[in-house]
Amino acid sequence: MPALDPQTVVLATLAMSLVLFVTDALRYDAVAVLVVLVLGATGALSPTEAFAGFASPAVVLVGSMYVFAASVSRAGITDVLCRKLFIGGNNLSEARLAFRVVLVSGLLSSVLSNAAVVATLIPVLGMITRRTGIPASRLLMPLSFGSLMGGMLTLIGTSKNIAVNGVIERAGFEPFGLLDFTLYGSVLLGLGCLYFLGPGRMLLPRSRVDESLSDHYQVPKFVTEVLVGPSSELSDHALADSDIFDRYGIAVLGLVRPDGESTILAPGPYNRVREGDVLILQGDPDSILRMRRELGLKEHSSVKVGEARLVSSDVQLVEAVVPSNSSLVGRTLAEAEFRETTGLNVLAISKHGDVRPMQIARTRMDVGDTLLIQGHTRDIYRQHLNRVLIMLGEHKLPGLGRRAYLTLGLLVAMLALAALPGIHLSIAALGGALGLVLLRCVRPDEVRRSVDWSVLILIGGMLALGTAFSKHGLSERVADWMLQMGGMVDHPVFVLAMLMGTTLLLTQVINHVAAAVIMTPVALALAQQLGMSDRAFLMAVLTGAEFAFMSPVAHQANAMVMGPGDYRYRDFLRAGTPLTLILSVTAVLILPLFWPLS
């Protein structure tokens, strides 16, 4: 069998990965593993080269920062800090509040992951919107965009920065330091704050304010009441004893005892159904009708089922968002045994603004899906602490204890060590993460849950693709093509703009980490061929991969605010495109000032 041309293999692997990323046919971590397998099996990379990315300092650093984010969240540091920063929200105008949201989310994202910041601030801003009457859509997109811009303040601001630094190190070039682009990132963040203080705010949609949760999620259409007759096989059985409701795909939201004796909302598995009870059921109308007919149940419609019928002093109706590191992502509620393990009822699911009250248990969860949940206050608060879901209701504010001060101390110590010569940032971060575990700021099981392993796998796989690109001269070929386009060899600023624009467009359709890692070898080749410093070209890639403003699927932070903000795809395009143009033009103009090309 003739040997395969390595360049052809690498280009085919790149094309395959791009198609899979764009079509979302496979999870992006599965795509990364497939890339490693193809490059290793075809000989484009040796096994050592193919798997080296998974053991890179970049992967260790990203994993360690996830542990810090988990400890900060568990200690309640961000909750307390954000509520104190927004405590004057009632007295702020919408414009000033949006300005503050962008600034605060950006600063927090300089040391914590974008997703962690967004997950913390969504409930806080939800509380502010309920108190002020400002629609959530006016604040949540500024939150997401601010967290993205904050990723340009420090090297650890986002996993994309760390991954690119890993490519630079493996290529034998000088990597960026912790604060090398802080001043540059501050300029971009400042422009973003001003954008939402003025013109950007005019482009934001206005979502519902007065509409109740039950109306928004169409609860009256899919919740009904039935009367349990004397001949029903449900009579005198505990809910746990019967598989009838599972068989019909129906959830029991409440039991109303005869003669109004009492009402049990969100009943547990050991509550018994009695003759004459009225059951409040949620499910597909056809399934409920079939169950009534086959079991001899009677419709009971004396009271219209609405939000007031489903809540009490101890039972709440709240929205919840699926965060990026949730164990529910990619699973159905039935597979996760959500009802059995949490005691909560899911009444409806909203995907990208599309409410789906039917087939809830069999719908696969994605990042940013919004659930309408009914449950006891204690069960809802327990899930709020577990961070499996972001609960949008108001919760009591925890105080800062020993864990909080130890976490802050270790974070400061880690950053101080990283600033010293001779100590690699990944070593300092791993030491800090180990300290968090040893000091019991986080438990070992929380460490395993908090790390987004799919991101680590993605980085390892994309580093292998970057290595193959450089090893077989493809980065130089792409650089030649970019230099020849339009005869721009004598205009390096235009080449810089082209590099940033290409990375930016890739970021809108594939993962931002993948886009940055793919374009980094090209940036290094461009700088070498032009005989110029590589800093500005590398920063063009980092900047383009950060501007994921034009699509809700371009970054997890955008996906997480889409549901609670009632956004549509066009909303990101309308508000994100002008911001992208403003920041891109500014970045191209100031990059040579911060990092001279010659």
**Of the residues 391, 414, 447, the one at which a domain ends:** 391
Task: Tell me if 253 is assigned to some domain.
Answer: yes
Q: Which domain CATH number covers 278?
A: 3.30.70.1450
Shared domain for 324 and 300, answered yes or no, is no
N-terminal to C-terminal alpha carbon distance within the chain = 48
Shared domain for 292 and 222, answered yes or no, is yes
CA distance 415 to 437: 18
Shared domain for 339 and 386, answered yes or no, is yes
Shared domain for 347 and 296, answered yes or no, is no
Section 144-160 average pLDDT: 91
Shared domain for 270 and 220, answered yes or no, is yes
Residue 355, sorted as left (phi over 0), alpha (psi -120 to 50) or beta, turns out to be beta
What's residue 261's pLDDT? 60
Q: pLDDT confidence of 303, banded at 50, 70, 90?
A: very low
Task: Tell me if 342 is assigned to some domain.
Answer: yes
Alpha carbon distances (Å) from 572 to 139, 233, 382, 552: 13, 52, 33, 7
> How does pLDDT run across 545-587, given as a tens digit for each residue?
999 898 887 788 888 888 888 888 889 999 999 999 999 999 9
Section 161-177 average pLDDT: 88
Place of tokens 């970049």: 58
> How does pLDDT run across 588-597, given as a tens digit for each residue?
999 999 999 8
Q: Is the pLDDT of residue 47 over 50?
A: yes
In which domain, by residue range, is 363 found? 315-391
**Is the pLDDT higher at 258 or at 364?**
364
What's residue 1's pLDDT? 39
All residues at 6 or more sequence positions from 481 whose CB lies less than 8 Å from its CB, including other chains: none
**Of the residues 308, 325, 354, the one at which a domain ends:** 308
| Continuous H helices in 172-218 | 182-197, 199-202, 213-216
For 15-19, 57-61, 391-395, 537-541, which range has the lowest pLDDT when averaged over its residues? Answer: 391-395
Alpha carbon distances (Å) from 147 to 69, 117, 150, 285, 543: 14, 7, 5, 42, 14
Q: Is the pLDDT of residue 147 over 50?
A: yes
* 325 close to 450: Cβ distance less than 8 angstroms: yes
Section 227-231 average pLDDT: 76
Q: Is the pLDDT of residue 284 over 80?
A: no
Burial state string for 518-541 with b = 16 or more CB within 10 A and e = fewer than 16:
bbbbbbbbbbeebebebbbbbbbb
Section 296-312 average pLDDT: 61
Q: What is the mean pLDDT of the chain?
A: 82
The first and second tokens of residue 113, run together, are 């992951």
Q: pLDDT confidence of 274, banded at 50, 70, 90?
A: confident
Q: Is the pLDDT of residue 285 over 80?
A: no
What's residue 146's pLDDT? 94
Of 54, 72, 74, the residue nearest 63 (C-alpha): 54
Helices 94-108 and 77-85, packing angle to 10 deg: 150
What share of the chain in percent tops pLDDT 90?
16
**Is the pLDDT higher at 226 or at 585?**
585
Shared domain for 229 and 296, answered yes or no, is yes
CA distance 12 to 4: 11
Section 320-327 average pLDDT: 82
What's residue 185's pLDDT? 94
Shared domain for 335 and 294, answered yes or no, is no
Task: Tell me if 386 is assigned to some domain.
Answer: yes
Task: Tell me if 377 is assigned to some domain.
Answer: yes
Task: Tell me if 164 is assigned to some domain.
Answer: no
For the chain, the domain total comes to 2
What's residue 398's pLDDT? 58
Task: Tell me if 240 is assigned to some domain.
Answer: yes
Shared domain for 292 and 323, answered yes or no, is no
Task: Tell me if 347 is assigned to some domain.
Answer: yes
> How does pLDDT run across 69-103, given as a tens digit for each residue?
888 877 777 777 777 777 654 567 888 888 989 99
Q: pTM (2 decimals)? A: 0.83
* 483 close to 578: Cβ distance less than 8 angstroms: no
* 565 close to 140: Cβ distance less than 8 angstroms: yes
Q: pLDDT confidence of 19, banded at 50, 70, 90?
A: confident
Section 259-285 average pLDDT: 75
Q: Is the pLDDT of residue 33 over 80?
A: yes
Shared domain for 251 and 335, answered yes or no, is no
The first and second tokens of residue 580, run together, are 């992208």
Shared domain for 328 and 260, answered yes or no, is no
Shared domain for 262 and 287, answered yes or no, is yes
> How does pLDDT run across 386-416, given as a tens digit for each residue?
778 888 766 665 567 788 889 889 988 988 8
Which range scores top for mean pLDDT: 93-97, 183-187, 211-215, 377-381?
183-187
> How does pLDDT run across 334-383, given as a tens digit for each residue?
888 888 788 888 888 888 767 766 667 778 888 888 888 888 888 887 87
For 146-155, 198-207, 532-541, which range has the lowest pLDDT when averaged over its residues? Answer: 198-207
**Of the residues 308, 329, 346, the one at which a domain ends:** 308
**Is the pLDDT higher at 563 or at 302?**
563
The H or E element containing residue 576 is helix 569-594
Of 513, 509, 441, 499, the residue nearest 115 (C-alpha): 513
What's residue 483's pLDDT? 75
Task: Tell me if 134 is assigned to some domain.
Answer: no
Shared domain for 319 and 363, answered yes or no, is yes
Q: Is the pLDDT of residue 194 over 80?
A: yes
